[in-house]
């Protein structure tokens, strides 16, 4: 039997005020707010509680190729990551700043050493979104529902805990990989970006591998076993990247059946040829890129009938992240996409920042994500 989670009293009041359905609160949650219930309760009917929120600045994300809708075929490949140099800080690990990292092999597409200008960088913080597609979660964050499934149904599903158990933290528990491994970022905060740079590099100190290393470092600092696959799946050919990353995932899952969480770490592309958005928040005086979780839905053609189990995990993680750092996340994108999320019930794609964000911002965002995820998994192992 599936188990519902307790939510904070304020979360219940917020929903009850909209739906007028009385609820009885069995317990007030602790620090993380994810106490497990042993008996399912009726979940309040959904309502779009974002309709009164102020309209937020919105920009359309760049659509990826049609291959994103495919689950891929099976081929074998291997590749595992390295641990970054770290020191223990007060609240987060002290990592080497990306612009100070030096690699022995930058690959065929090195990161630029000289920069031009011409494109406008728009520094902003995305707040709450309004519209019929959006609804709020009890403990923070929103969902952007791009499917035909009713918001009421998804709100009910959002109350379920993840559909996997955490028996051991030390065994490989989390797999981090990158379908679009070469996705890269701005070098530092500035007013303009260089339209001549396509924001792609094979230098893993300057692409999303570096973000994965930051997530890995914070997880391992909490004693959680991590496998970081750093295979390049999108170079020299971009098309077919999801087929190639699928092969990487399957070979690792076969070798390490203890893996429960599978994260495909990307960066978004917000803007156009003349503008690039730099969405960020400040945490402890430091800037971090805002992130977006993508949870795929099956329209009946993608072979992933258990997609709702990934959505349970997405909502649990989203609320944990928002509880720890309000404003850190953009709404979960729930859409008809596969992204190889049929392979486990703990699979998510996470856009860490956009191409307008800086290397430092996305590295710190990776740390925030890794630390909160580690705390969530630790609590699940003790539940």
pLDDT tens, residue by residue, 5-32: 444 334 444 444 434 433 333 333 333 3
The domain that holds 355 is classified in CATH as: 3.40.630.40
151: which strand partners? Answer: none
Give the least confident one: 85-94, 113-122, 369-378. Answer: 85-94
Number of domains forming the structure of the chain: 1
- Greater pLDDT, 46 or 201: 201
Q: What percent of the chain has pLDDT over 90?
A: 76
* Residues ≥6 apart with Cβ < 8 Å to 200: 109, 182, 183, 184, 207, 234, 235
Which of 189, 199, 236 has the alpha carbon at shortest distance from 112?
199
Give the lowest-confidence range in 11-25, 129-143, 160-174, 288-302.
11-25
**Tokens encoding 24:** 């009885």
Across the chain, mean pLDDT equals 83
Strands of the sheet with 275-283, listed across from one edge: 192-193, 119-124, 275-283, 286-289
Whether 205 has a pLDDT exceeding 90, the answer reads yes
User: At residue 42, does pLDDT exceed 70?
Assistant: no
In a domain, 45, yes or no: no
Residue 383 confidence class, pLDDT cut points 50, 70, 90: confident
User: Rounded CA gap, 91 and 370, in Å?
Assistant: 12
- Domain interval for residue 167: 54-382
* Burial of residue 352, with CB atoms counted within 10 A of its CB: 0-12 exposed, 13-18 middle, 19 or more buried: buried
pLDDT at 56: 37
- Those residues whose C-beta lies under 8 Å from the C-beta of residue 106, and which sit 6 or more positions away, are 201, 202, 203
Asked if residue 81 belongs to a domain, the reply is yes
- How is residue 3 written in tokens? 């188990």
Tokens of residue 323, six digits:
């509880």
If pLDDT is split at 50, 70 and 90, which confidence band does 90 have?
A: low
- Sign of the Cα torsion 184, 187, 189, 190 reads negative
Residue 223 falls inside a structural domain: yes
- In the predicted model, is pLDDT for residue 292 greater than 80? yes
Beta strands, E only, the chain: 86-87, 94-95, 119-124, 134-136, 142-145, 172-177, 192-193, 225-228, 261-268, 275-283, 286-289, 291-296, 332-335, 347-354
How many other CB atoms sit within 10 Å of the CB of residue 89?
A: 10
* Whether the predicted pLDDT of 373 surpasses 80: yes
Residue 212 has pLDDT above 80, yes or no: yes
4 inside domain: no
Asked whether residue 123 carries a pLDDT value surpassing 80, the answer given is yes
User: What is the pLDDT at residue 57?
Assistant: 32
| 107: pLDDT strictly greater than 50 | yes
- Put simply, whether the predicted model's pTM sits higher than 0.85 gets the answer no
In a domain, 182, yes or no: yes
Nearest to 265, CA basis, from 204, 324, 315, 311: 204
């Amino acid at each position: 039997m599936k188990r519902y989670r307790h939510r904070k009293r304020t979360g219940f009041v917020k929903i009850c005020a909209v739906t007028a359905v009385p609820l009885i609160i069995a317990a007030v949650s602790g620090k993380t707010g994810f106490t497990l219930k042993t008996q399912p309760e009726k979940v309040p009917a959904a309502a779009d509680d974002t309709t009164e929120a102020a309209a937020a600045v919105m920009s359309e994300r760049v659509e990826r190729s049609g291959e994103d809708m495919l689950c891929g075929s099976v081929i074998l490949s291997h590749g595992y990551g390295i641990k970054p140099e770290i020191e223990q800080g007060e609240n987060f690990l002290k990592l080497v700043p990306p612009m100070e990292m030096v690699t022995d092999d930058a690959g065929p597409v090195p990161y630029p050493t000289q920069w031009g200008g011409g494109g406008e960088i728009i520094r902003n913080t995305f707040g709450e979104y309004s519209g019929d597609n959006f609804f709020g979660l009890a403990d923070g964050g929103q969902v952007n529902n791009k499917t035909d499934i009713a918001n009421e149904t998804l709100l009910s599903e959002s109350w379920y805990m993840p559909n996997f158990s955490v028996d051991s933290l030390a065994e490989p528990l989390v797999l981090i990989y990158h379908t679009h491994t070469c996705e890269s970022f701005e070098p530092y905060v500035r007013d303009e970006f260089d339209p001549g740079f396509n924001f792609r590099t094979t230098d893993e100190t300057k692409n999303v591998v570096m973000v994965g290393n930051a997530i890995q470092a914070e997880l391992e600092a909490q004693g959680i076993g991590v496998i970081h696959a750093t295979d390049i799946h999108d170079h020299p050919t971009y098309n077919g990247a999801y087929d190639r990353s699928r092969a990487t995932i399957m070979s690792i899952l076969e070798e390490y059946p203890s893996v429960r969480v599978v994260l495909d770490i990307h960066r978004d592309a917000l803007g156009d040829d003349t503008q690039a958005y730099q969405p960020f928040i400040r945490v402890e005086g430091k800037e971090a890129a805002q992130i977006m979780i993508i949870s795929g839905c099956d329209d009946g053609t993608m072979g992933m009938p258990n997609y709702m189990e990934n959505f349970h995990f997405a909502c649990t993680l989203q609320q944990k992240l928002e509880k720890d750092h309000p404003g850190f996340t953009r709404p979960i994108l729930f859409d008809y996409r596969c992204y190889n999320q049929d392979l486990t019930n703990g699979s998510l794609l996470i856009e860490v920042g956009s191409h307008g964000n800086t290397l430092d911002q996305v590295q710190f965002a990776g740390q925030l994500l890794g630390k909160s995820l580690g705390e969530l998994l630790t609590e699940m192992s003790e539940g």
